[in-house]
Amino acid sequence: MASLLDTLTKAVSGGEVKDRARRSAKWFQDKLKGLKGEAKNRFSSTNPDKFYRESPNKIAPTGLKRTAGFGDLYCYHYDPKYKKTLPYYDAFPLIMLIGSDKDTFLGCNFHYLNPRFRAILLDKLNAKVGKGIPKWKSLSKIKEIAPTIKRYRFDHIDKKVIQIEEDEKEIAIFLPLERFRKSSKSSVWSDSKGKF
């Protein structure tokens, strides 16, 4: 199975990523290289009222914490606790953070939608987030969101967590980084479309 870096390199060289987005794809490719190694740069639930992650900045002290905000995008390797009973799952989620508690966090995983619906969902979410932190009732009115909402456990994140910068969100959601297990991406996308 091709690695994430191999997939991204192939997409960039094969023309899947448009010329004007090549620089952003190269930036993201460099970020993915930071996933190698055993360093644990994880989300942490040390304070259930806030959602934290360790800083990826190598200059910063090891224990430095940085607040992660509602509406921020993250990607990471994930090994679900209940993977044996799930019909399928994404081993490399790209989520927008929408909530957290002591042991888990709620994310909108864009990979569960095909690229067209990812763009539609991102636009709708950005419009809601731009007005402050919306209530779930407001978000649930977005028809494309239903199949993307997933709950993740802090202690099942593997390796490092990458935060997607604000100006890189659009390129990140289009990159072929989904890693579905137990089903193909086309089957997952078809199943997701049937839920809205």
Per-residue pLDDT averaged across 6-19, rounded?
A: 58
Query: Which residue in the block uniquely carries the two structure tokens 């399928």?
Result: 88
Q: Is the pLDDT of residue 73 over 50?
A: yes
Q: Is the pLDDT of residue 59 over 50?
A: no
Residue 146 pLDDT: 96
Three-state SS for 43? Answer: strand
Host domain of residue 111? 4-193
Residue 13 pLDDT: 61
21, 22, 25, 29: CA torsion to nearest 10:
-170
Q: Give buried/exposed letters for 133-170 (b at 16+ CB in 10 A, else e).
A: ebeeeebeebebbebbbbebbbebbebbbbbbeeebbb
Residue 134 pLDDT: 73
Q: Is the pLDDT of residue 39 over 50?
A: no
Residue 88 main-chain phi, psi, to 5 deg: -170, 165
Residue 171 main-chain phi, psi, to 5 deg: -70, -40
Three-state SS for 163? Answer: strand
Lowest-pLDDT choice from 74-83, 95-104, 107-116? 95-104
Per-residue pLDDT averaged across 88-113, rounded?
A: 93
Residue 60 pLDDT: 28
Max Cα–Cα distance, the chain, nearest Å = 47
Residue % of the chain over a pLDDT of 70: 65
Residue 96 main-chain phi, psi, to 5 deg: -100, 125
3-state secondary structure 84-135: CCCCCEECCCEEEEEEECCCEEEEEEHHHCCHHHHHHHHHHHHHHHCCCCCC
Residue 176 pLDDT: 86
Residues with Cβ within 8 Å of 149's Cβ and at least 6 positions away in sequence, in order, are: 98, 106, 107, 108, 109
pTM here is 0.74
**Looking at the DSSP assignment, which residues form a beta bridge with residue 106?**
99, 151
Per-residue pLDDT averaged across 80-97, rounded?
A: 96
Residue 144 pLDDT: 96
Residue 7 pLDDT: 58
Q: Is the pLDDT of residue 147 over 70?
A: yes
Q: Is the pLDDT of residue 9 over 70?
A: no
Structurally, the chain folds into a number of domains equal to 1
